[in-house]
């Protein structure tokens, strides 16, 4: 900091390019990671819900997995079957959903409206970086925001529960960036169908 003030007083220019480049690189890396993860969801296809609503969803996405589960009477509701959202993005360290999340939220809300007996629980999770209490609050806030958005899109509030779990129940190794990214997730579980 002193160096910046000294350089400014001396009339020298401060080169902010390394900082700007680093920030741009970080945003590009996050964007590329999301794009490659979304590409792994397979081809998009159109499917009709029981109420006639048509959705455009990826073959390996949460919407298709949820639909298959709901339509298969041999698959009972249990406490272990969770479906991870795969196209939700939040602002870093915040519970604010980014606009790229809208399509998946609309699809899940449409599924809930088309299957009026279905009740779900939204689970919010974080990695183990930072304070445990802060992670628990962030995970709860994110789960609550997903619930709120689904309600705004027409899903009945009494059919959605939201709970934050913080860094409990990791699905990957928190020792790696890739593992931590997998642990930062929102999932849903069907509690009635």
DSSP symbols for 88-147: --B-TTS-PBPGGGHHHHHHHHHHHHHSTT-EEEEEEE--S-S-HHHHHHHHHHHHHHHH
More reliable by pLDDT, 89 or 38: 89
**pTM for this predicted structure:** 0.80
pLDDT band at 38 (very low <50, low <70, confident <90, very high): low
- pLDDT of 46-64, one tens digit each? 999 999 999 999 999 999 9
CA–CA distance, 183 with 18 (Å, rounded to integer): 30
Report the mean per-residue pLDDT for the chain: 86
Per-residue confidence (pLDDT) for residue 14, from 0 to 100: 43
81 pLDDT higher than 70: yes
180 pLDDT higher than 70: yes
CATH number belonging to domain 42-192: 3.30.1330.60
Fill in the DSSP letter of residue 176: S
Other Cβ atoms within 10 Å of 111 Cβ, number? 24
- pLDDT of 119-173, one tens digit each? 999 999 999 999 999 999 999 999 999 999 999 999 999 999 999 999 999 999 9
Half-sphere exposure of 83 (CA within 13 A, CB side): 23
Per-residue confidence (pLDDT) for residue 40, from 0 to 100: 84
CA–CA distance, 165 with 143 (Å, rounded to integer): 9
CA–CA distance, 121 with 125 (Å, rounded to integer): 13
CA–CA distance, 163 with 161 (Å, rounded to integer): 7
pLDDT band at 37 (very low <50, low <70, confident <90, very high): low
Per-residue confidence (pLDDT) for residue 130, from 0 to 100: 93
Instruction: Calculate ∠ Cα 141-55-142, nearest 5°.
Output: 5
1 pLDDT higher than 80: no
Per-residue confidence (pLDDT) for residue 20, from 0 to 100: 43
42 pLDDT higher than 70: yes
């Amino acid at each position: 900091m002193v160096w910046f003030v000294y350089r400014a007083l001396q009339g020298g220019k401060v080169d902010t390019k390394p900082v700007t480049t680093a920030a741009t690189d970080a945003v590009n890396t996050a964007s590329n990671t999301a794009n490659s993860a979304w590409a792994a969801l397979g081809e998009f296809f159109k499917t009709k819900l029981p109420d006639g609503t048509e959705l455009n969803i990826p073959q390996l996405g949460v919407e298709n997995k949820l639909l298959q589960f709901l339509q298969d009477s041999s698959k009972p509701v249990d406490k272990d079957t969770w479906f991870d959202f795969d196209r939700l993005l939040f602002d870093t360290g915040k519970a604010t959903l980014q606009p790229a999340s809208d399509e998946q939220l609309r699809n899940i809300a449409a599924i809930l409206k088309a299957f009026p007996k279905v009740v779900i629980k939204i689970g919010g999770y974080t990695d183990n970086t930072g304070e445990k209490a802060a992670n628990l609050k962030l995970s709860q806030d994110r789960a609550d925001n997903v619930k709120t958005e689904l309600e705004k899109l027409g899903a009945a509030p009494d059919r959605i529960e939201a709970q934050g779990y913080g860094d409990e129940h990791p699905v990957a190794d928190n020792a790696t960036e890739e593992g931590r990214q997998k642990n930062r997730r929102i999932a849903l579980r069907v509690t009635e169908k």
